[in-house]
Structure 1
Amino acid sequence: MALLPPPQDRLYPTFEALQNDLKTFTRSQGYACVIVSSLNRDPEGHYRRYNLCCSKGGKSYTSHSKGIRQARSTKTGCPMRLKAVQEKAYPYDDKWRVVVQCGEHNHEPFTGEPGTNVPAQFRKIEADGVRWLMIMHRDAQCTLRQLTIGIRISFGDKYQYVKKSDVRNMLAKIKRDDDRKAQMAAVAQGLPTNLPYTLIPQSHQPPPPTPQDVEQMPQLPQGLQVPDPDLESDDEDDDEP
C-alpha cells in the first residue's frame, strides 16, 4: 500500500458511481475519503461539485471528560484533498471526474493489523448489508454475534472490519425507522398517535384463522325453554296491574 491518489482519467455517469469507485480504490491504498462540502447547485437543486479529503484530515483532539468512555481523535491533519466535479464541456459531456488537489498524506496506510484503529468508513454498513441484516434478524432470528460473523463472511472483504457495535447500532436504526413508518401508517388510517400499540406490517401479520365446524347445542324441549336474558330489557315495568 502506497497511499496513492485516485486516478484522474476516469469519467463517471453519476456521482454515486464515482463515489463507489473512489471507495474501492482508496481502500486498496489504506485510506478513506469523506465529503466535507458541496457546491454549485443546478436548476433542479442537484450539486455539481463535492469537496473531499482524507478521513484523517482535521485537527487531533483528546477528550478531557471524566466519564467511563474516553474519546480520542485519530485525525492527523492530513492535507490530502480532492474534488468531484460534473463538467458540461467537451470531452466530459456532463459526466463526473476526480480532480486531486493534494495527493500527499502525513500518516501510514491502514493495513488491517490487529490493534490498529479501523477507519469508520471501512465499518459503514450500506444498503445491501442493511437488507441482509433485516432478513437474518427478523426471519432467521440470528443473535448479534451470528449477525456480525455472517455479514463478514457473506460479503467477502467489504464488511470484514464491521464490529458488533456497528451491527447493534444499525439494528437500532432499523427499529427507529420501522416505528416511524408504523406511526405514519397509523396517522394515514386515522388512528390516534398516542395509542399504546403500533401496527404490525401486513407482510408479518398472522393469517386469519381457518373456519372450523362447531357442533351446536341441541334445542331444549318446549316445556324446558326459558327466556333468553340477553333479549330482555333491563327497564322495569312501572305500570300497576
Structure 2
Amino acid sequence: MAQQVPSHMQMQQQMQYTMQVAPQQPQPQHQAQLQAQAQARALPPHRQRPQQQQQQPQEQQVQQQFQQQQQHPPQQMEPGQQAQQSRPNFQMALLPPPQDRLYNTWDDLREDVKAFAKSQGYAVVIVSSLNRDPEGQYRRYNLCCGKGGKSYTSHSKGLRNTRSTKTGCPMRMKAIQEKAWPYNDKWHVIVQCAEHNHEPFTGGPGANAPAQFRKIEVDGMRWLMIMHREAQCNLRQLTIGIRISFGDKYQYVKKSDVRNMLAKIKRDEERKAAAAAAAQGLPSNATYTLIPQSHLPPPPEPQAVERLPQLPPDMQVPDPDMESDDDGDEL
C-alpha cells in the first residue's frame, strides 16, 4: 500500500507543537556560564564563590564620568603653583641641621653637623672660609651639600668608568662664631637654603656612598698602619677589619679607599724622612733643603756633539792667551 503523505496543514501544526513543548537548546556562548552555576549549586555554601558583578556598558560609564565632572569641576591652578607641585620635594626626608645649638669650638660643630647630615642621608662639605681673627683662625665657614655645584666635564681617556655625582643641590648654610650675647664667642649654624634636589642616601646593597662617608681619619690611619706592617694583612683583610673594628664609622669604606690611604701614609713618611736627611749638615739659616738621591731625576744620556772642522795651517792664529807678557823691555 502506498504511504500517506502528510498534508501542508498537518506539517504546520506539528511545527507549532514542537516549538511550544520542546525545550530550547542553550546557545554555545552561555554553556560555560550554565555549567559554572550548576557546579556552584552542587558545592556546599561555605565553598561557593561570589558571583562576579556584571560590567556596566561603556555608555553608562561615560555618562557617570560626565556627571561627576559637572558636579566637581577641576580647580584651575596658577602657573607658579603648578610648577611647585610638579617639582620633586625631599625636604621631609633631608632635614637641615638644627639652628638652636651653641658649640664651644669649630671642631665640635663640624662633627655634630656631619653626624646629623649622615643620619638624614646627605653629606656636608666646606665651600669657603672667611673672617680671620688676630691669631689667624677663621670665624666663619660656608657649607653646602656634598652634591652641590655644577657637574664638571671629564677630559680623561676613558680608562676608568667614572662620572660626576654632583646635581647642583641648592642646600646652603654657614657656621659663624659670634661674640655678642647670647652667643658669647660660641659657634652656631645658620641655614640659608634647606632644599635638596636629590634623594637621600639610604645605604642599600650596591649603593655608591658619598666620598665624605668613606673618609678615613687619624684613628683609622693609625690602625691601618699597624695592621699592615706588623700583622701583614692584605688589602681585603684590612677593609673588612676596619669596618668591624670601628662599627658604623667606616662601614662604607672600600678597598680603593684603603689602598689610597696606605699610599698617602707612605708618601708622608718619605717626605718627612727626606726633609730630615736634607736638613743634616746644612747651616741653620739656610733657605733651601737638599733633595734625597732616590728622588733625583736620572742624569741625561750622552749625546753626540758635532764639532767644527780644523782650520788649515796657514789660517791658524796663535792664541794670545797662551803668549807670555814678558817682552824683555822691563828694566
Q: TM-score if structure 1 supplies the norm length?
A: 0.77
The question of 1:111 aligning with 2:111 is answered no
Q: Percent identity?
A: 79
- The one-letter code of the counterpart of 1:100 is V
What is the rounded CA distance, in whole Å, between the counterparts of 2:152 and 2:269 in structure 1? 36
The question of 1:13 aligning with 2:111 is answered no
Q: Which has the higher helix share?
A: 2
Provide the residue aligned with 1:194 in structure 2: 292
For structure 1, which runs of at least 5 residues remain unmatched after alignment?
Answer: 198-241
- The one-letter code of the counterpart of 1:109 is P
Query: Which stretch of structure 1 is more off in the superposition, 136-145 or 76-85?
Result: 136-145
Shift in CA distance, 99/141, structure 1 to aligned 2, threshold 3 Å: same
RMSD between aligned residues: 1.8
Larger CA Rg, structure 1 vs 2: 2
How far off its partner does 1:71 sit? 2.9
| 1:103-137: CA deviation from partner (whole Å, max 9, x where unpaired) | 11111000011232210000000111111111111
The question of 1:86 aligning with 2:157 is answered no
What is the rounded CA distance, in whole Å, between the counterparts of 2:267 and 2:153 in structure 1? 31
Aligned residues, how many? Answer: 197
The question of 1:169 aligning with 2:260 is answered yes
Q: What is the 5 A alignment of 1:15-164?
A: 15-63=106-154, 65-164=156-255
| 1:50-84: CA deviation from partner (whole Å, max 9, x where unpaired) | 00000011113453644221331111111111000
3-state SS, counterpart of residue 157 of structure 1: helix
Q: Relative contact order (alpha carbons < 8 A, sep ≥ 6): 1 or 2 greater?
A: 1
For structure 2, which runs of at least 5 residues remain unmatched after alignment?
Answer: 1-91, 283-289, 296-331
Contact kept in structure 2, 1:33 and 1:52, CA below 8 Å:
yes
- The one-letter code of the counterpart of 1:189 is Q
Contact kept in structure 2, 1:64 and 1:70, CA below 8 Å:
no
- The one-letter code of the counterpart of 2:207 is T
Q: TM-score if structure 2 supplies the norm length?
A: 0.57
How far off its partner does 1:175 sit? 0.3
What is the rounded CA distance, in whole Å, between the counterparts of 1:62 and 1:122 in structure 2? 24
What is the rounded CA distance, in whole Å, between the counterparts of 1:130 and 1:103 in structure 2? 34
How far off its partner does 1:193 sit? 4.5
Contact kept in structure 1, 2:277 and 2:292, CA below 8 Å:
no
What is the rounded CA distance, in whole Å, between the counterparts of 1:29 and 1:37 in structure 2? 23
| 1:178-221: CA deviation from partner (whole Å, max 9, x where unpaired) | 11111122123339743459xxxxxxxxxxxxxxxxxxxxxxxx
What is the rounded CA distance, in whole Å, between the counterparts of 2:268 and 2:164 in structure 1? 30
